[in-house]
Structure 1
Amino acid sequence: MSVQQGNRFFFNVDWITILIYICLCTIGFVNIYASIYNPDTSTVFSFGSNYGKQLIFILTGLVLGLSILLLDAKFFSVFSPIIYGITIFLLLVVLVIGRKVAGNQAWIPLGSFRLQPSEFAKFGTALLLARYISSYAPKLRDIKSIFFAAVIVILPLFFIMLQPDTGSALVFLSFMFPLYREGLSGYFLLIFLGMIVLFVADFLLPPYIIVPVILAVGGFFAFQNKRKQKVLFSIALAVLIAIVYLFVVKLAYTSVLQPHQRTRIEIMLGLKTDPKGAGYNVNQSKIAIGSGQLTGRGFLQGTQTKYGYVPEQSTDFIFSTIGEEWGFAGCAVVISLFAFLLLRLINLAERQRSTFSRVYGYCVASIIFFHIFINIGMTIGIIPVIGIPLPFISYGGSSLWSFTVLLFIFLKLDANRMGFI
């Protein structure tokens, strides 16, 4: 690389996004330190502790990210099938030799480190999906292109469900949004939203109420399109699928989900109260966040945090530490940083000259948004606890590295946007 090329590369990289990334990682380290702080043993460079390990993860993540920026941008498009294949292979390996933690066989033990393949499957899927759409399906309007795009997403989702890691599997639903940006009919989004509504209704109302409502809605649309035979057939099919879906949800609920997952859904929907059992985490998390009030109790001063009332506080419930020690102001800063990052990613995605880069950029934004929404939602009790990390902030090497790779690949593609991929 010549001096002139190096200067142009330095100028083209979106350093604002990298600065946001560093800020979020720093916030994560500070709050992980606070969540497990012990005045007798805690030192910043105690590398045997979670915060010490997180510091190593952050530093190695930065090296990994900067290394990605030095690669040829075409590498990610050319080798996307191989990268995807490796992540699928790891998802199969974890089913055979994986370590079971909290009921999920989702980690491959590598000495003192545990690798979680489902985290890396996200950017592998994003790369192959971007490659497929840019090369074979510029417009997702025919059944064949939609089918193959769906297979790319559903294959890793299926293997993750076998672990079973429901939280990580649900993240793959976020790929619906980049597909919609690339031409997928809005009807699919309506179907997706309808499935969510029916899922909730299936728990709150008995079938003898829901089924007649579905038939009535279908009858209304059939009456409006009574002279259009193709539309009538589609409506009849949709009604049939909706009714079958209700019974599939019940079957999956009783046969697929773990008992603790079923309890969490029931608590979230108000069907059960269990403040000392399955609802304990959320209740303690809400107490911690609420006690922070406007400006927080202060760094290392949170009582819920200091005395370990909130389980998994350095991982899934790290946001409760932010809420208690930094208050509403701290939460607002973190959410604002995430909002700025998402808006920045969408803006970068829209300015791409290649379809591959644009699709991948929207995949990155969608995955990060889904994680933020679900993680913060479960800490404040509006979404069932499904156990997914807060990007760049929660403790975990697999999580931080996978998000770093996910983000920096897009930054490399953006830096090379004046070329063709």
Structure 2
Amino acid sequence: MNQHQSNRFFFNVDWITILIYVALCAIGWVNIYSAVYGPEKADEFFRFSSTYGKQLIFILLGLVLGLSILLFDAKFFSVFAPIVYGTTLVLLLLVLLIGNEVGGNKAWIAIGSFKLQPAEFAKFGTALLLARYIGNFNPKLNDIKSIFIAGLIVGAPLLLILLQPDAGSALVFLSFLFPLYREGLSGYFLLVLLGLIVLFIAAFLVSFKILIPLILAAGGLIIYLNKKRRNYIITVVLICLVAIGYLFFVKAAYNNILKPHQRSRIEVILGLKSDPKGVGYNVIQSKIAIGAGQATGRGFLEGTQTKFEYVPAQSTDFIFSTIGEEWGFVGSLVVIGLFTILLLRIINLAERQRSTFSRVYGYCVASILFFHLFINIGMTIGIVPVIGIPLPFISYGGSSLWSFTVLLFIFLKLDSNRMGFM
């Protein structure tokens, strides 16, 4: 790389986004240290065998990985998108055959002492292929063929992850609806998704003896008000039948596919049962920890919920409870504020791209990060079920940190070359 190319490289890269990334990683490391710290472990500060020592290695390697991605030719990611996607599918198949079971999910491949989670890497693999498909073929996302192909790209890894079964990671793939919507997918699909969620909840809160007549009555009223539109009437009848069939499918899947602890989490969040010493314990203790932080927090290393390990998975899925307890509302607001700035910046960068590939990929990045942020913080404060997905750049774990790093830095590379990428 000559001097001119080097200057251009440093000038074009969005260093503000990288600084936010570094800040979030640093916040994550500090809180992981606090979550597992104890007086008896004070001499482990520089021991890389400790949890925070390993995370420091993950962060440093992640930075090297991210900066290395910036040295690639931007066109590499479009050309090799099918290979990257295919590799992640092979890894997802391998994990079903030789994977290690952790927390009830067969989602990990052991490589020495390190455990690789292919589901994390499948996210950027899917984002790359989806962006390539839309960028290269410019499909009209209002015809069945185009929707089917896009759905197949997203659905293949989703189904393989469900077989592990890792419902949390699988749900993240629903975030790809938003970039598809940005590229022309009808808003009706988002309404259908919302309707499916509402029906899912209603299946548990309302008796079928009441719910099915309500659906039929609503359909009948719509038909009566539009009785002169024959094709419209047929559509409404089909929707009603599909809705009723979906309700029975939900109940069957709930009873036969979901594991007992997954069913219990849904029942607790919907208020159907109270289990303060079982599946509801995590959320109760997390809410106590966050509430105890009040405005400015109890202080670094001073969280009692954290120190006495009342909150399970404090350094991973429930890391936000440590932030809330020790840094309070102000600290939590800083973290959420950094994520908000990051998401808005990614969307702004995506909109200025000259290539469809780069724009679609940028929206995929923003959607995945937002989904993780909303679900992770939502489960720590008790507004969504506990489904076990990490807080990007902050939760402990090499697979999640590196996958989010690759996801973000590929987009930063595409953005740095936006004037030359066609």
| Band the TM-score falls in, shorter-chain normalisation | over 0.9
Q: How far apart in 1 are the matches of 2:220 and 2:353? A: 45
Question: Are 1:28 and 2:19 matched, yes or no?
Answer: no
Match of 2:7 in 1: 7
| Residue 236 (structure 1) shift | 1.6
Counterpart residue number, 1:334: 335
* Residue of structure 1 in register with 2:296 after alignment: 295
What is the CA distance between 1:101 and its match in structure 2?
0.8
What SS does structure 2 have at the residue aligned with 1:41? helix
Contact preservation (8 Å) 2:324, 2:331: yes
Cα offsets for 1:243-295 (capped at 9, x unmatched): 11101111111111110010000000000001111111111101100000000
Aligned equivalent of 2:274: 273
Which residues in structure 2 correspond to 1:11-410 (within 5 Å)? 11-42=11-42, 43-410=44-411
Q: Find the aligned partners of 2:183 and 2:5 in 1 and give their Cα distance.
A: 33
Distance in 2 of aligned mates of 1:193 and 1:149: 20
Kept in 2: contact 1:138–1:182 (CA 8 A): no
Q: Which runs of 4+ in 1 moved over 3 A?
A: none
TM-score (norm 1): 0.99
Determine the C-alpha separation between the residues in 2 that align with 1:50 and 1:2.
41
Distance apart, 1:126 and its partner CA: 0.4
Report the alpha carbon displacement of residue 365 of structure 1 after superposing the two structures with TM.
0.4
For residues 321 and 327 of structure 1, the distance between their equivalents in structure 2, rounded to whole angstroms, comes to 9
* Structure-1 separation of matches of 2:150 and 2:203: 29
In 1, the alpha carbon distance for the partners of 2:312 and 2:330 equals 24
Displacement, 1:199? 0.5
How far is the alpha carbon of 1:134 from its aligned partner? 1.1
- 2:65 partner amino acid: L
SS in 1 for 2:40: coil
| Residue identity opposite 2:182 in structure 1 | R
- Contact 2:74/2:421 (<8 A) preserved: no
Q: What's the TM-score, normalizing by structure 2?
A: 0.98
Aligned partners of 1:234, 1:25: CA distance in 2, in Å? Answer: 50
Shift of 1:216: 2.2
Aligned-partner SS, 1:100 = strand
The residue identity in structure 2 corresponding to 1:80 is A
Give the AA of the match of 1:74.
K
Deviation at 1:45, TM superposition (A): 1.9
What secondary structure does 2:385 align onto? coil
When the two structures are aligned, how many residues end up with a matched partner?
Answer: 421
SS in 2 for 1:71: coil
Give the secondary structure class of the aligned counterpart of 2:29.
Answer: helix
Structure 1 position 226, deviation (Å): 2.4
The amino acid that maps onto 1:83 is: V
**In the alignment, is the contact (CA less than 8 A) between 1:137 and 1:145 conserved in 2?**
no
Structure 1 residue runs without a partner (length 5+)? none
Q: Give the gaps of 5 or more residues in structure 2.
A: none
Secondary structure of 1:40's partner? helix
